[in-house]
Structure 1
Amino acid sequence: MNEYFDVNRANWDERVPAHVASPSYHVADFLADPSYLSGVVRFDRPRLGDISGLRGVHLQCHIGTDTVSLARLGARMSGLDFSAPAVEQAQSLADRLGLTADFHVADAYDAVRVLGEATYDFVYTGIGALCWLPDIARWGEVVAGLLKPGGRLFVREGHPMLWTLDTGPQYAEVRYPYFETAEPMLFDEGGTYVDTDVEFSSTRTHEWNHGLAETITAVQRSGLVFDSLEEHDSAPWNALPGLMTEDADGEWRLTDAPWRLAATYTLQAHKPAQ
């Protein structure tokens, strides 16, 4: 296995307990309210349309809160993640909620081998997933392999422009690559994106950005038909601390002139029926 995989997996494995315990993931809300959905899926719902009865797979599902939200909308869900502790927590959550969902430990690039070819009506990929993959074209091939004829891809991701920014208390500047690079961006950061007092030991990560054109091209070259791209001025987390304000729906956007920055995007495509 490549070094990046082992380094990133150690980082995510260690953060699972802190994420499960964090109010940001709302595990208690899922258990208390049978209608509760993650903020990400609530945002996505108008664009997803009716998914009841469809078989879906959530790639890079982490602890499964978005996956079980899709199951609550009536889809028959599978989830896949490279972190065994995350998958264990995801399966536990689905079981406690009484939802039929299956979760699998594997690299995203191995999803077709693990889950089966032409198995799913839709592939879902959520916020903060693609930056952990070094090759967006290879990801596109995986998505195409998983989809049944007529199936669709739904992605909402951090915008590659957002990922280029380095921030301080009162500034944001373009520092990191917009385009996919052969070598990863290397980070060594002790925290995580939820509030926690836990001190972590696996602090290194390897990450990549993927430009919009690169992602769309990857989808098209895999044989999918590109349908739509929508850019949003908000993100479901405080992506630029000190510079963003949260709205009533849990979305964060620039406090001053939010139209200056595309923070996330939604991309949709489908596999031809024939």
Structure 2
Amino acid sequence: MTTEFIDANRANWDERATLHAARDGSGYGVERYIQDTDALSDVVRFDRPLLGDITGARVVHLQCHIGTDTLSLARLGATVTGLDFSENAVTEARRLADEAGVSVEFVRADVRDAADKLPRGSFDLVYTGIGALCWLPSIEDWAGVVADLLAPGGTLHIREGHPILWSMNEELPGLALRFPYFEQREPLEWDDDGTYVEVSAPLQATRTYEWNHGLGEIVTALLDRGLRIDALVEHDSVPWEALPGRMTERPNGEFALTEQPSVMPLSYTIRASKPA
């Protein structure tokens, strides 16, 4: 049954990729990466203080979507490979990198198969951006892939929406928990023809499936794979309006709660390393 869930998600992300990569100012506004050779995504710009200097690093960006964060990492001096399960996403990522004049390799594969599609133990940095883990049914399997891809001494950098945020019910007034915090065998099912940025048309493949993973589950999965946790930082913002009508956009493109912004974490960063 999990294959059916993943196939439905892939169909949804195939459509999102095409809409997100539009050249009409909608979607991700990708024109800025083409017109400005120094442009970085807001996500990577936020990550830089914890990401550190990646000049010359061999980087793999898992679940890279249309490659805006991927080419941003390359612009910071890394040699980058992007991987995504959506054929349309990889096509759009290659197109964007080519038009922006950035050298990046893109591979079409499910993240669960990444260690079979890419050279194991060869990456100095495994990077995962925001909004990725909720599409994976098993956090333990993901942690195994990360450990397999990292070279000895290599580092994982992930920033993700906080599991407490994924547990919130955005339709109720106030801050109310509704959905599971911990990983469940069966996913949450959604049916929505929209996406998290403005696009020019509604989605046709509207049904998607998501899994939450508790922060303790994520950390434990990485520890069980022999990685060392070097940093765990929780943030009071997230780079999309996750709770519509209750958030204020900051100058850096992040959204925070308008009232009581310190009442709950909205995202987190983990840095973990593989012993040399």
TM-score of Structure 1 vs Structure 2, range by shorter chain: over 0.9
Which amino acid in structure 1 is aligned with residue 235 of structure 2? H
Number of the residue aligned with 2:123 = 120
Tell me if 1:217 matches 2:220: yes
Asked if the contact 2:35/2:100 (under 8 Å) is kept, the reply is no
| Structure 1 residues 66-95: Cα deviation after superposition (integer angstroms, max 9, x where no partner) | 000000000000000000000011111112
Q: Tell me how far 1:17 sits from its aligned partner.
A: 1.8
Number of the residue aligned with 1:188 = 191
Which residue of the other structure, out of 133, 137, 151, is the alignment partner of 2:136? 133
Summarize the Cα distance change of 1:169–1:178 in structure 2 as closer, same or farther, 3 Å threshold. closer
Any idea what SS the aligned residue of 2:44 has?
A: helix
Tell me if 1:166 matches 2:169: yes
Which amino acid in structure 2 is aligned with residue 152 of structure 1? T
Any idea what SS the aligned residue of 1:117 has?
A: coil
TM-score, length basis structure 1: 0.97
Any idea what SS the aligned residue of 2:176 has?
A: strand
Number of the residue aligned with 2:18 = 17
Summarize the Cα distance change of 1:169–1:248 in structure 2 as closer, same or farther, 3 Å threshold. farther
Tell me if 1:5 matches 2:29: no
Number of the residue aligned with 1:101 = 104
Matches of 1:172 and 1:82, distance apart in 2: 34
Alignment of 1:39-188 (within 5 A): 39-168=42-171, 170-188=173-191
Any idea what SS the aligned residue of 1:122 has?
A: strand
Matches of 2:29 and 2:273, distance apart in 1: 32
TM-score, length basis structure 2: 0.96
Which amino acid in structure 2 is aligned with residue 205 of structure 1? T
Q: Tell me how far 1:199 sits from its aligned partner.
A: 2.1
Asked if the contact 1:169/1:242 (under 8 Å) is kept, the reply is no
Residue segments in structure 1 that go unaligned for 5+ positions in a row? none
Which amino acid in structure 1 is aligned with residue 248 of structure 2? T
Asked if the contact 2:26/2:200 (under 8 Å) is kept, the reply is no
Matches of 1:24 and 1:240, distance apart in 2: 19
Tell me if 1:271 matches 2:274: yes
Which residue of the other structure, out of 243, 246, 250, is the alignment partner of 2:246? 243
Residue segments in structure 2 that go unaligned for 5+ positions in a row? none
Any idea what SS the aligned residue of 1:262 has?
A: coil
Which amino acid in structure 1 is aligned with residue 233 of structure 2? E
Matches of 2:63 and 2:200, distance apart in 1: 25
Q: Tell me how far 1:174 sits from its aligned partner.
A: 0.7
Which residue of the other structure, out of 242, 255, 260, is the alignment partner of 1:257? 260
**Which is worse superposed, 87-96 or 126-135?**
87-96
Asked if the contact 2:60/2:125 (under 8 Å) is kept, the reply is yes
Q: Tell me how far 1:4 sits from its aligned partner.
A: 1.1
Matches of 1:213 and 1:141, distance apart in 2: 16
Number of the residue aligned with 2:36 = 33
Matches of 2:96 and 2:199, distance apart in 1: 21
Any idea what SS the aligned residue of 2:125 has?
A: strand
Which amino acid in structure 1 is aligned with residue 188 of structure 2? M
Q: Tell me how far 1:100 sits from its aligned partner.
A: 1.6
Asked if the contact 1:120/1:146 (under 8 Å) is kept, the reply is yes
Q: Tell me how far 1:197 sits from its aligned partner.
A: 3.9
Matches of 1:15 and 1:172, distance apart in 2: 29
Summarize the Cα distance change of 1:176–1:210 in structure 2 as closer, same or farther, 3 Å threshold. same
Asked if the contact 1:52/1:73 (under 8 Å) is kept, the reply is yes
Which amino acid in structure 1 is aligned with residue 223 of structure 2? Q
Number of positions where the alignment pairs a residue of Structure 1 with one of Structure 2: 273
Asked if the contact 1:63/1:89 (under 8 Å) is kept, the reply is yes
